[in-house]
Structure 1
Amino acid sequence: MLQTGQFRRGRLCVLRGFTPPRNQGMTPGLSGSALTASSLDYDYYLSLAIRAILWAAGKVPAVQIETPEAPRTVLQRESGGRVRFTLSASVPQADLSARFALRARDGHVWDTREEKLAVSGTASLDYVVPRVPAGDYFVDLWVKHAGKTVNWASAAVTVEAADRLSEAKIPESIATGEPVTGKVTVTLKTPGAKQLRLRQYDNYGRLVGERVLPVPTGGGEVAFSLPASRPLSLLQHLEIALLSAGEPVESVRLPFFYRDFFPPRDDIRWVMWDGMAGDSFIGRIIAREFRKAGLDTQYTGLSEWAIRENMWHIPYVTRFVDRKTDWYQEKRTRTQDDLVRDPCLTDPAYRAKLREDLLQAVQRVTRFGTGEFSLGDENHFVAGNFDLCMSPTCVADFREWAKREYRGDLNALNKEYGTAYTSWEQVRPATLEEARKSGNYAPWVDHRRHMETVWAGIHQYAREVIREAVPGARVGYEGSDTRAGTYHAADYWQIMRAMDLNNLYYRDFQGAAVRDFADPGTLYGAGWYGGYADNRNEEFMRWYPWMVLFQGTNSYWVWMGCGSAGAVMAFDASLYPFFAANAEEMREIKGGVGKLLMHAERQHDGVAVYWSPVSVHVREFTPGMPEADDVLNSTVRVLDDVQVQPRVLSYAELEKLTPQRFKLLFLLQAQALSDAEAEAIRRFVRDGGIVIADLRPGVRNEHGTARATGALDDLFGVKQNADAPDLKKAEPELLQPARKLPQAVVDASLRVAGGNATGRAGETPVMIQNTFGKGKAILLNFSWADYLARERTARTAGADYAFWPINEEWRALVRVLCENAGVVPPVSMAPSLPRTQVVRFRSGNAEYVGVLAGLPRDPNAYTAKEAKLPAPRQTTIRFGRTAHAYDVRAGRYLGKVDQVKTLVQAGRARLFALLPYAVSEIRVRTSAVSLGQETRVRAECITGGKPGRHVLRVRFIGPDGKERREYQQSVVAEGGTAELSLPLALNDAPGTWSVVVQDVATGVTGKAALRVTGSPAGSDWSQKAEGEW
């Protein structure tokens, strides 16, 4: 393993026989599982490396130490023995001290001793090994002078015993509520009664169960059981000790897991993409530091280090991509005439193999309390404009889809397709090229719609397979389908019926659609963030977590951990300053604020933005039509910029489209509407709603077939040309009030037929308004699709908010359109600050108002240290009603007010609670409890009215004044009252504890003493947890 040599005057030292892990460099990696790896191994590997470095540098210690010749000294426990070290010095050395330590494999120090020493020539120094349980140990020796180490050495010792534990078995995992059962074989060679002591420790070092059993005379197999305990950690250890006359003869320590100890679903999750150096001893340091920072979940390949540090694991069990176009390959191989996806998602053989692979992947991690599964990162139906999939199985599946779509009426399909099929077996989809040649687009639009069901369907299938093994598992993808496009096959409504886990790359529309379409309980992440270049600054990292929290996220996903240019952790395992700042914000959010908002309902302002996936396909053969993705993202952004919060509404939710729920519907990029959709929109307006469309609403049906008369032409008071639009760029001018708008795409083929055009773009009518029933329909006949693109061109100006003025005309228009529709946000600011997000959450009669001014520069400017945040600006926030107001982040009462004058700092979130009463006190009650029993705590909000739902942060402070973080929790107090129970450990400290309860919304805090009685167990010879490094 060690080879030395000389080159001229220099020394060479080569470490051989192993390949160091990437994170270590000079020492061997793990030789087994991280779950059972000993930190001692790394200690001694480092000792060897340091020895080599000192020798190569010619640093010869004044005192040399030789250990026994044998690599390991074997001693008998019954007779004892000693380990002899030989010390030598070429020059007499006085005033030395020798310090010994006896360390077990788990790091526990069993014995230390120190003696004075002088070395002249050669001398022996013996360490007498005390009577300890059988096992492997190291005897460490430090020779010191004036407190400084002169030299050190270690010798391996194995202590053997006549009586021993031959074999011990327990289940790899158990369910919560089950006892810990197992068998142990005991070999006895000495007389006298023997006992087995069982101790269950959780991963916080808490002793949660203990039992002593007699060993049959002569030994043999002993079955045992420990009563069920309530777990606070996923990983547990069972310590089995063989006792003779009360002394431990030998012990073993076996890990096991509570496989159904799942992460909480009612609180914020913080997820890290990182393998955490799984083959390296450094992995534990990495995992430990991330856990200390507050991260609770590790993602991608399993890191057992993360499990050891009390983190959950989300596995990356597959990835759905087209292999011929995936961007993570050296060369893409698909050609335009290759129209079969690889793999085909309807191929039975592929699905059978997928099922097998998924079940195998799931079984590998079920013991780790895994309740969420990722189906991949950056999944895609196909990368590029390829008209997939035309495989035999997809064509057959298309026929079945068409039968359902046309209700088994082949004549209806023939009429739509312009075909004369005589049987369903003749039906086939068309490519876009074929549709263009025939002039009939229905077979192609239906083909794209079918592919949407196939794409959503494969994720649904995977979820069903996984749930066979883990019932109720949350399954989905992340970083996928971030652009609305025809070849992506992503209908967000269908996608969110197929999954309940989704983390995006942040986009305004996609984030809103996923949030609004998600089923309750979905694990929703609004976007990856972390080590990207424009994230690597404190300004972004303090702004981002609140921005997405206010968007409704309940999980945060960080890319990535340690060991790359995109890491948030340095190579010394410290957090980079930008991420340390983020961790401060996240601790506050995870400390109860996130849970507070999760248990409230995010409010919209009565504005709906319609999602029409069929129209995304129709746009593909409408020359000059703006990109649907640009229109939708620009719309959500401009509404947010005028502090109006919309809800994305799907074609499948038309029953929700009523004037009682929505005052205003933005019908954008909606060329293709079914008769049912058109009628629902018409009914909405007739009953008093207002609809605003941009270009060409309802000119085609749900199959993409042109209508002779637009489905909504009478609603808007216009005549549209479905087959021959004349889309061009022009500069709209409005008459009421007079206003010029930026250049935009208009449809010059539009004619007014009963409506009132209140603007023109050259000769083209724009802003056509028409009263219909109790409501109004407005056809803009232009699009603000380039709202975001215009911003991007202005960001390079190098000044704060340089992007803001360029779109003021669009914001002014949208603001007026909303106001004329009766949409006036309940919360307003004067003066209003650029790009300030204002959101509301409601929980019963309580309302929470978030205010967050955006960053005034491109975040890259902060990374490059080219900009600083401007000084805070004063504004008045008007709440629209009088309430007892609290500054949530400051924990400060603001009075019974309808407005507050305050400073708003760009990138720094403000959160206000508006309550119908003041909270005067948090009353906390406890009752005395014995160690190992459950303590019960009752906390009550004392208010000036009937209390509603509150979230309380509960902390437990031990008799030593230190917080027990494993007991910290946030609890929901329905009706202002919460009762919780907590199992104390057998080795917790007796005495007077403090229970501190803080109301998250108001900051009001209560405190009570908790009397804990009893004598701690497990403090005799056992080691609660592995020693520190």
Structure 2
Amino acid sequence: MVIAPALGQRETVELAHRVSLECTALMTHGYDEMYQDPKWLPHSVPVETADKIIREKLKAAYDVILIGKVSWEILPDYLRAWIEEQVHKGTGLVYVCPRGIKETDFLFACQKTSDSASFVTDSVPLKALPVLDALDEKTVFGFGLSGEGRVAKINYGEQEWGTLHSLTPARAYADWSLNYDYYHSILAKALLWAARKEPDVDMSEMKTTGDLLTVKIVNRGAMDKKVQLELVVRDRDNAIEDRQERQVKLAGGEQEVSFRLPTLKGGLHFLDVWVKENGKTLNWKSTSVMTTPECSIGEIVLDKESYKAGDRVSGRIALSRIPEKGSGLSIRMLDHFGRVMAEEKSAPRGKEVDFSFEIKEPLSLLLTIEAELSDGKQVISELRKEFPVAWQKIDDYFFAVWIQVCDNHVGDLALKQFRELGVDFDYTRPYAERYCKAAKANLGVIPYFSKSFFPGYGYSKMAQDDLVRIPCFTDPEFRAELKKSLQEDVQLNKPYSPYYSLHINGGLSPLRCITPLDL
């Protein structure tokens, strides 16, 4: 059972994509609301109906209960009592970012577990992952026994919750998203541990020495088990750099298996080892390695922050040192569909290399300058820099979509899915972050610069019989603030689109007594 807000249950689907499980979703309205406010009836679910649905779900037996950032104190008494009873009888419990911490202390103030918790804590390279790299392991994890049930808590140290991220950290995907897979890896291992479903084959250790990766495998099951070990090496952009497979016959107890790693380019790399039997995954474990070449690309500098079609993009590539003789530098301009629009190759003789490309008929809002430095044999360093190119006209299109909630990585996935389903434009508020998110999904943007000015939406409430709105549209201070806001939004919009909508819900219109010309 997964207890999480309705919108946050998308992460239940993401988790189910990564580990085989049958799950029941018990949806709350929010992290601090069990039920939606009755004022939204008939669109909300009545409390009586919600309770009836919940009680029906409690009749089933579960291996483990997963709570995603929901405050313990908002759960109805009968649900809390049921959770306590089930855990005491042996059902596992995994609580992500326990809310109402004092009320949940009793769940974790219990008998400590053995070292088996390392099955979870050592499963991924914590210090290579955003958010977790800044936290002590004892802060992130807590394990124990409550009656017969195993309990685990996972704490990301967050002060704010992402609407869509009920199970993983919310603000951890500024410039890469591979880490999202590893947060789910932790969750999957925690669920297996809490449900007492750890596999017979374990990997107690993974370590790299030079170009050698050594894995210690512990077999607690049948002797002479034949398994397949698969190594996958990925860079932080999720590009697979190497893949190796090996057939191994496992004796009882512990044994070592080694893999010879290829020469890797500079940067962060993740090493994943999978243990499989007859195509079925028995276990997995990950580690990371950082490589630093003697010469690397330190920076890509552009002459402007944004461009228009027909402009020339000029800039320079800054290297950490003068490269060795025989080195090569490739500089490309790509659109966001991955197509090469222009390319220059050179044999660099200094620490800086200039480049210049003309932007011809761009088909995406975001373009990328990609630089690759090679030692004559292989790429040893690479770097990318994105920049927007504003479309000068909007061609025919079929669909524009308005999305209220689109935060963090799950929001990125939603926008990309909209694009795949035929949506062309994101109708959105003018925020630089949102513009960039839409552009990364290859969506155009049509912003709206104002919305409802109804009382109660950030403004003073009115009594039913009041005839004058507070503040009135004629109020000089209100009009000055609105004019300033529109001017700022126009400047923010310029790098992405010359088009915009003045309002949604009639915020600015002659019917609302106020138009841009009035300002």
- TM-score, length basis structure 1: 0.34
1:27 aligns with 2:165: no
Shift, 1:8, TM fit: 1.5
Shift of 1:14: 0.8
Query: Which residue is 2:8 aligned to?
Result: none
Equivalent residue in structure 1 for 2:202, among 56, 64, 68: 64
Contact 1:299 1:313 (C-alpha < 8 Å) held by counterparts: yes
Contact 2:163–2:407 (CA under 8 A) maintained in structure 1: no
- Are 1:108 and 2:239 matched, yes or no? yes
The question of whether the paired residues in 2 share the 8 Å contact of 1:345 and 1:454 is answered with: no
User: Superposed, which structure 2 residues align to 1:284-295 within 5 Å?
Assistant: 284-295=412-423
Tell me the CA shift for residue 282 of structure 1.
1.7
- CA 1:460–1:143 in 2, change beyond 3 Å: closer, same or farther? same
Name structure 2 gaps, 5 residues minimum. Answer: 1-139
In 1, Cα distance between the equivalents of 2:354 and 2:176? 27
**Structure 1 residues 162 and 185, CA gap change in structure 2 (3 angstroms):** same
Cα–Cα, structure 1 residues 119 and 370, in superposed 2: closer, same or farther, change >3 Å?
farther
2: CA distance between counterparts of 1:37 and 1:364? 24
State whether residues 209 and 229 of structure 1, in contact with CA within 8 Å, keep that contact through their aligned partners in structure 2. no
Looking at structure 2, the residues matched to 261 and 111 of structure 1 have their Cα atoms a distance apart, in angstroms, of 43
Instruction: State whether residues 448 and 500 of structure 2, in contact with CA within 8 Å, keep that contact through their aligned partners in structure 1.
Output: no
Return the alpha-carbon distance in structure 1 between the equivalents of residues 420 and 315 of structure 2: 34
Report if the CA contact (8 A) 1:179-1:229 is conserved.
no
Q: How does 1:653-672 map to 2 (within 5 A)?
A: none
Residue among 196, 209, 212 paired with 2:329 = 196
Instruction: Within 5 Å, give how 1:335-350 maps onto structure 2.
Output: 336=466, 339=468, 342-345=471-474, 347=476, 349-350=477-478
Q: Is the 8 A contact 2:306 2:389 kept in 1?
A: yes
Match of 2:11 in 1: none
Matches within 5 A, 1:231-630: 231-260=362-391, 262-264=393-395, 267-275=396-404, 277-279=406-408, 281-301=409-429, 302=431, 303=434, 304-319=436-451, 321=453, 325=455, 331-333=461-463, 336=466, 339=468, 342-345=471-474, 347=476, 349-369=477-497, 371-379=499-507, 455=513, 458-460=515-517
How far apart, CA to CA, are the structure 2 residues paired with 1:112 and 1:278?
33
Question: Aligned equivalents of 2:377 and 2:500: distance in 1?
Answer: 46
- Kindly provide the CA deviation profile for residues 629-672 of structure 1, in whole angstroms up to 9, marking residues without a partner as x: xxxxxxxxxxxxxxxxxxxxxxxxxxxxxxxxxxxxxxxxxxxx
1:86 is matched with 216
Alignment equivalent of 2:271, drawn from 139, 144, 155: 139
Partner of 2:357: 226
On the 8 A contact 1:180/1:228 being kept in 2, the answer is yes
For residues 487-886 of structure 1, the aligned pairs below 5 Å read none
Q: Distance in 2 between matches of 1:84 and 1:261?
A: 55
- 2:254 aligned to which of 100, 116, 122: 122
Aligned-pair CA distance for 1:197: 0.8
Match of residue 158, structure 1, among 271, 286, 290: 290
AA of the residue aligned to 1:5: G
Give distance in 1, aligned partners of 2:268 and 2:340: 24
Change (3 A) 1:365 1:67: farther
Query: Cα offset for 1:200?
Result: 1.7
Cα distance, 1:212 vs. partner? 0.9
Cα separation, 2, equivalents of 1:297 and 1:16: 37
- Evaluate the alpha carbon distance shift between residue 237 and residue 110 of structure 1 in structure 2; reply closer, same or farther with a 3 A threshold: same
Alpha-carbon shift at residue 18 of structure 1 (Å)? 4.1
* CA gap 1:8/1:326 in 2 versus in 1, 3 angstroms: closer
Q: Deviations over 1:698-720 (max 9, x none)?
A: xxxxxxxxxxxxxxxxxxxxxxx
Q: CA RMSD in A?
A: 2.8
8 A Cα contact 1:297 1:314, kept in partner:
yes
| CA 182–67 in structure 1, closer or farther in 2 if over 3 Å, else same | farther
Q: Kindly indicate whether the alpha-carbon contact (under 8 Å) linking 2:319 and 2:352 is maintained by their aligned counterparts in 1.
A: yes
Report deviation, 1:339.
Answer: 4.8
After superposition, the C-alpha distances for 1:773-803 in whole angstroms (9 at most, x for unaligned) are xxxxxxxxxxxxxxxxxxxxxxxxxxxxxxx
Q: What letter matches 1:119 in structure 2?
A: L
**1:54 equivalent in alignment to 2:192:** yes
Q: 1:9 to 1:85 in 2, by over 3 A?
A: same
SS at match of 1:361: helix
C-alpha distance in 2 between matches for 1:276 and 1:210: 38
2:426 maps to a residue whose letter is: Q
Q: State the Cα deviation string for residues 796-852 of structure 1 (Å, max 9, x = none).
A: xxxxxxxxxxxxxxxxxxxxxxxxxxxxxxxxxxxxxxxxxxxxxxxxxxxxxxxxx
Percent same amino acid among aligned pairs? 24
Question: Taking CA–CA contacts closer than 8 Å with sequence separation of 6 or more, which of the two structures ends up with the larger relative contact order?
Answer: 2
Contact 2:212 2:261 in 1 (8 A): yes
> Structure 1 residues 190 and 237 mapped into 2: Cα distance closer, same or farther (>3 Å)?
closer
CA-to-partner distance for each residue in 1:350-375, whole Å, 9 max, x for gaps?
44433322222233333223522332
Letter in 2 for 1:227: E
User: How many angstroms apart in 2 are the aligned matches of 1:143 and 1:340?
Assistant: 67
Q: Distance in 2 between matches of 1:93 and 1:149?
A: 18
1:253 alignment partner, SS class: strand
Amino acid at match of 2:204: E
Q: Is the 8 A contact 1:241 1:248 kept in 2?
A: yes
Task: Report the count of equivalent residues.
Answer: 371
Could you give the per-residue CA deviations for residues 920-967 of structure 1, whole angstroms, max 9, x where no partner exists? Answer: xxxxxxxxxxxxxxxxxxxxxxxxxxxxxxxxxxxxxxxxxxxxxxxx
Q: 1:247 to 1:98 in 2, by over 3 A?
A: same
Q: Secondary structure at the match of 1:205?
A: coil
CA deviation map 1:164-200 (0-9, x unaligned): 1122222432111112222221123663143321112
Q: 2-side partners of 1:299 and 1:67: how far apart?
A: 49
CA distance in 1, matches of 2:494, 2:439: 13
Contact 1:258–1:368 under 8 Å retained in 2: yes
Which secondary structure does the structure 2 equivalent of 1:376 belong to?
A: coil
Equivalent position of 2:310 in the other structure: 177
> Superposition pairs for residues 829-978 of structure 1, below 5 Å?
none
1:212 aligns with 2:350: no
Find the aligned partners of 2:487 and 2:377 in 1 and give their Cα distance: 48
- Alpha-carbon deviation of 1:202? 1.2
1:188–1:32 CA distance, 2 compared to 1 (3 A): same
Match for 2:339: what amino acid?
Answer: R
In the alignment, is the contact (CA less than 8 A) between 2:449 and 2:502 conserved in 1? Answer: yes
Structure 1 distance, partners of 2:171, 2:457, is 34
TM-score of the superposition, structure 2-length normalised? 0.65
**Distance verdict in 2 for CA 1:127–1:366, change over 3 Å:** farther
- The residue matched to 1:100 in structure 2 has which SS? strand
